[in-house]
A and B are shown apart, each in its own frame.
Chain A
Amino acid sequence: MKDTAILVKNLGKEYRIGGIQKSYDTLGAQITDIFTSPFRRAGKLLRGQAAGVAELDERFWALRDISFTVERGEAVGIIGRNGAGKSTLLKILSRITGPTTGEAIIKGRVGSLLEVGTGFHPELTGRENVFLNGAILGMQKSEIERKFDEIVAFAEIDKFIDTPVKHYSSGMYVRLAFSVAAHLEPEVLLVDEVLAVGDVAFQKKCLGKMDDVAQAGRTVLFVSHNMGLIQLFCTRGIFLQEGRIHTDGPIEAAIDAYLQTLEQAKTQDLSVRTDRKGYGRARLIGVDYCNSDRDCSPVLKAGGAARFTFEVDRVLPGMDCNFFLYDHIGQPVVSFKSEIRGAEDVYDAGIGARFVCDVDELLLLPGRYRMDVVIIGDGVTQDFIEAATVFDVGTGQIGRRPAQPDGKFAAAIPSRWRLPVQ
């Protein structure tokens, strides 16, 4: 028998979720409710419905019948759409929350990184936070002392190590936080999407560190939306859908299955999709794309003009729309962000509750692209929906050069050549 590191058997997790928020027609009704609701809640408690925080009637299974084993030294990528149960699975395995059914056994010291910088205290200095955070992550004091110089050097903040972290820039903060986490050396490492931090150079450094971990024969469970990263580190993939294992196999197979279901998802009406994240006061209810304002054929043209329209159900102050394009293998290609204002951006009263993004020249090679959309309002993410739509780019010309499909690359930049005469 091989050396098993993680054994998961029939794991399930049921959450209670609050019923749909009641909407109050009048202030009077709201005030009445403030006085009557304690009695209703108390009544519920007495009838044996514990945990009467809100209207806790609805339940749903975030995870159901999850069984798998992971051998020592294996790097497994956990993929799936928002709400598929990826984070719940990691939370159970890192013992943050208990399962409702089933069990799991992990062999060896467990380190989990569900967020960098948890437990950092703004009033304490960088040095003090390294020790505190190290201890929270499960390191011994002697271990932290031994690695201290390495941690500081890795984070590149030597000069500011004795400054309270509240004076740090967000980049420095994240670098230090990640650096502490990266020096944790557990036998089993559970990582949730924490690499999406810091600047590009630092990200690369982190990836290198992660790779070292994988090379050193440690077992890694890695959750990410970045298929490129997953493919880089993991040999095996577990694709979760609606709390169950859809595919468990070689990473390519799992990613394929995932991308397929993502494409299927776009046929669903956006307003009924539940696999979304965000605060939810405003939601994306429609995405549309056209070649230009007259010609709305279903296929966009490489090098042609394109117009993307995003309809929201409600306009909030300080609202922005960001969207991201990924190629057919899930590699990120390009981002469009209204939050980074351009000189030609305007507010338009004539478009209603819509964002319209005009692209003069679509510099994408022919192929299939997936679009994730983030709606921001009131300073927080209101809605984040993956694969809000999927579209095809047909052949065309970019910079008067034929744009042809390329198995590996997705974008093209207009260019001119000068060639030597033979």
Chain B
Amino acid sequence: MSIQSGKNIKTILAGETAVPLTHIKPAKGWVSLGLRELWQYRGLLYFFVWRDIKVRYKQTVLGAAWAIIQPFVTMVVFSLFFGRLAKMPSDGYPYPIFIIVAQIPWTFFANGVTQASNTLVANANMVKKIYFPRLTMPIAAVLAGLVDFTLAFLVMMGMLFYYDVMPTVKIIWLPLFLLLAFTTSLGVSLWFAAMNVQFRDVRYIVPFFIQVWFFSTPITYSSSLLSEPWRTLYGVNPMVGVTEGFRWALLGTETAPGPVIAISALVSLTILTGGLFYFRRMEKSFADVV
């Protein structure tokens, strides 16, 4: 059979439309995000999340308690140093409450980045031997953090009751802020995960990067330390939107976080979109380089 020009190569095989066609060609220029394919592989995504959750605390003595210990101990330490010793202002709330409300979404974000940035390298064997949309791996790694988040969230609710701070109806907005933490975490992870394949330096950068970001985000302190318009512009750090949102929804801090969150959401989506394209662009060479 003779093959004509490259353009009608597809028509040669496209007899029945019901049969899936796989078209393989070199990666050049902009690539589609392949979201439809990702949707077809949602079953695999589910299994990856399930695996990450199952495996996460295997062979640990304390098991899932780690999900609570980590943010809780950090909260205690910060309460001692920043609350008691440095006497940081906390918008009139007990310092432990003030800090843990922001600490919990932050932990979700930071653990997500740490885990997801490493997924491609950690699963190099799979990347080299089996095809599936690579996006499933970082997405699953971030999603798996939701379990830890839920556990920590319950403990936090217990603390709120203990300190007699009753959440208001604004709490219904919380999922939105969690989504913002998710998109930010995933967006950053996609960049790191794809870069990590080529440059293992990423492994050393990530912890440092997260530490700097932590102190750039109003967790141990209040954004009310800044005056307008700087306070609103602070939203270019998308985690500012997340922490402000959490404080507003749970504690009812009187800041109106609308503009800040809008800016944060915009930045977060930009990082995510860029990350998606960058990841997809690099995807075809992962197996060769990892």
- Produce 1/0 per residue, A27-42, CB < 8 A to B: 0000000000000000
Closest to B20 in A: A109
In the assembled complex, the CB of B24 is this many whole angstroms from the nearest CB of chain A, namely 4
Whether, in the assembled complex, A92 has its beta carbon less than 8 Å from a beta carbon of chain B, the answer is yes
In the assembled complex, the CB of B41 is this many whole angstroms from the nearest CB of chain A, namely 8
In the assembled complex, the CB of A112 is this many whole angstroms from the nearest CB of chain B, namely 7
Whether, in the assembled complex, B76 has its beta carbon less than 8 Å from a beta carbon of chain A, the answer is no
In the assembled complex, the CB of B203 is this many whole angstroms from the nearest CB of chain A, namely 14
Contact A53 B54 (CB under 8 A): no
Q: Which of B43-51, B91-99, B222-230 contacts A (4 or more CB under 8 A)?
A: B43-51
Contact A103 B27 (CB under 8 A): no
Whether, in the assembled complex, B284 has its beta carbon less than 8 Å from a beta carbon of chain A, the answer is yes
Given contacts A9-B9, A106-B22, A107-B19, contact A51 B289 (CB under 8 A): yes
Contact with B3, one of A7, A118, A136, A138 (Cβ below 8 angstroms): A7
Which residues of the other chain, A, contact B9 by a CB distance below 8 angstroms?
7, 9, 103, 105
Contact with A67, one of B3, B59, B284, B286 (Cβ below 8 angstroms): B3
Contact A15 B288 (CB under 8 A): yes
Contact with B24, one of A99, A112, A124, A131 (Cβ below 8 angstroms): A99
Whether, in the assembled complex, B74 has its beta carbon less than 8 Å from a beta carbon of chain A, the answer is no
Contact B130 A137 (CB under 8 A): yes
Contact B54 A124 (CB under 8 A): yes
Given contacts A95-B24, A105-B24, A140-B43, contact A9 B3 (CB under 8 A): yes
What CA separation (Å) do A103 and B28 show in the bound complex? 13
In the assembled complex, the CB of B4 is this many whole angstroms from the nearest CB of chain A, namely 10
Whether, in the assembled complex, B6 has its beta carbon less than 8 Å from a beta carbon of chain A, the answer is yes
Given contacts A100-B26, A105-B13, A138-B132, contact A69 B47 (CB under 8 A): no
Given contacts A123-B54, A124-B51, contact A108 B20 (CB under 8 A): yes
What CA separation (Å) do A71 and B25 show in the bound complex? 20
Whether, in the assembled complex, A343 has its beta carbon less than 8 Å from a beta carbon of chain B, the answer is no
Contact with B129, one of A9, A106, A107, A114 (Cβ below 8 angstroms): A114
Whether, in the assembled complex, A402 has its beta carbon less than 8 Å from a beta carbon of chain B, the answer is no
Which residues of the other chain, A, contact B6 by a CB distance below 8 angstroms?
9, 103
Which residues of the other chain, A, contact B287 by a CB distance below 8 angstroms?
91, 96-97
Residue of B13, B26, B128, B131 with most partner-chain A CB within 10 A: B131
Interface size class of B (residues with CB under 8 A): 35 or more
Main secondary structure of the interface of B (DSSP, over half): helix
Contact with B132, one of A105, A114, A136 (Cβ below 8 angstroms): A136
Which residues of the other chain, B, contact A3 by a CB distance below 8 angstroms?
15
- Segment 116-161 of B: residues with Cβ below 8 Å from A: 123, 125-132
What CA separation (Å) do A97 and B284 show in the bound complex? 5
What CA separation (Å) do A103 and B26 show in the bound complex? 7
Whether, in the assembled complex, B270 has its beta carbon less than 8 Å from a beta carbon of chain A, the answer is no
In the assembled complex, the CB of B244 is this many whole angstroms from the nearest CB of chain A, namely 38
What CA separation (Å) do A25 and B19 show in the bound complex? 60
Given contacts A7-B12, A135-B43, contact A95 B58 (CB under 8 A): no
Contact B55 A119 (CB under 8 A): no
Given contacts A9-B3, A103-B24, A123-B58, contact A53 B289 (CB under 8 A): yes
What CA separation (Å) do A30 and B1 show in the bound complex? 57
Which residues of the other chain, A, contact B58 by a CB distance below 8 angstroms?
123
- Segment 40-99 of B: residues with Cβ below 8 Å from A: 43-44, 46-47, 50-51, 54-55, 58-59
Given contacts A9-B3, A91-B287, A124-B54, contact A103 B25 (CB under 8 A): yes
What CA separation (Å) do A136 and B19 show in the bound complex? 21
Closest to B59 in A: A123
Which residues of the other chain, A, contact B44 by a CB distance below 8 angstroms?
135-136, 138
Which residues of the other chain, B, contact A1 by a CB distance below 8 angstroms?
1
Which residues of the other chain, A, contact B51 by a CB distance below 8 angstroms?
121, 124, 128, 132
Whether, in the assembled complex, B36 has its beta carbon less than 8 Å from a beta carbon of chain A, the answer is no
Whether, in the assembled complex, B208 has its beta carbon less than 8 Å from a beta carbon of chain A, the answer is no
Whether, in the assembled complex, B198 has its beta carbon less than 8 Å from a beta carbon of chain A, the answer is yes
Which residues of the other chain, B, contact A261 by a CB distance below 8 angstroms?
none
- Produce 1/0 per residue, B1-41, CB < 8 A to A: 10100100110110100011111111100000000000000
- Produce 1/0 per residue, A395-408, CB < 8 A to B: 00000000000000
In the assembled complex, the CB of A63 is this many whole angstroms from the nearest CB of chain B, namely 12
Which residues of the other chain, B, contact A123 by a CB distance below 8 angstroms?
54-55, 58-59
Which residues of the other chain, A, contact B15 by a CB distance below 8 angstroms?
3, 107
In the assembled complex, the CB of A283 is this many whole angstroms from the nearest CB of chain B, namely 24
What CA separation (Å) do A131 and B1 show in the bound complex? 41
Whether, in the assembled complex, A414 has its beta carbon less than 8 Å from a beta carbon of chain B, the answer is no
What CA separation (Å) do A160 and B287 show in the bound complex? 33
Which residues of the other chain, A, contact B27 by a CB distance below 8 angstroms?
98
Whether, in the assembled complex, B285 has its beta carbon less than 8 Å from a beta carbon of chain A, the answer is yes
Residue of A1, A9, A131, A137 with most partner-chain B CB within 10 A: A9
What CA separation (Å) do A92 and B25 show in the bound complex? 9
Whether, in the assembled complex, A93 has its beta carbon less than 8 Å from a beta carbon of chain B, the answer is yes
Contact B130 A99 (CB under 8 A): no
Contact A97 B126 (CB under 8 A): no
Whether, in the assembled complex, B199 has its beta carbon less than 8 Å from a beta carbon of chain A, the answer is yes
What CA separation (Å) do A104 and B13 show in the bound complex? 11
What CA separation (Å) do A28 and B54 show in the bound complex? 47
Which residues of the other chain, B, contact A102 by a CB distance below 8 angstroms?
25-26
Contact B126 A103 (CB under 8 A): no
In the assembled complex, the CB of A116 is this many whole angstroms from the nearest CB of chain B, namely 10
The 4 closest A-B pairs by CB, nearest first: A98-B284, A135-B47, A103-B25, A95-B131
Q: List 25 A-B contacts (CB under 8 A).
A: A2-B1, A4-B1, A51-B285, A67-B3, A91-B287, A96-B130, A99-B24, A102-B25, A104-B24, A104-B25, A105-B9, A105-B10, A105-B22, A107-B22, A108-B19, A110-B22, A110-B131, A112-B130, A115-B129, A119-B125, A123-B59, A124-B54, A135-B46, A136-B132, A137-B130
Residues of B in contact with A (beta carbons under 8 Å apart): 1, 3, 6, 9-10, 12-13, 15, 19-27, 43-44, 46-47, 50-51, 54-55, 58-59, 123, 125-132, 198-199, 284-289
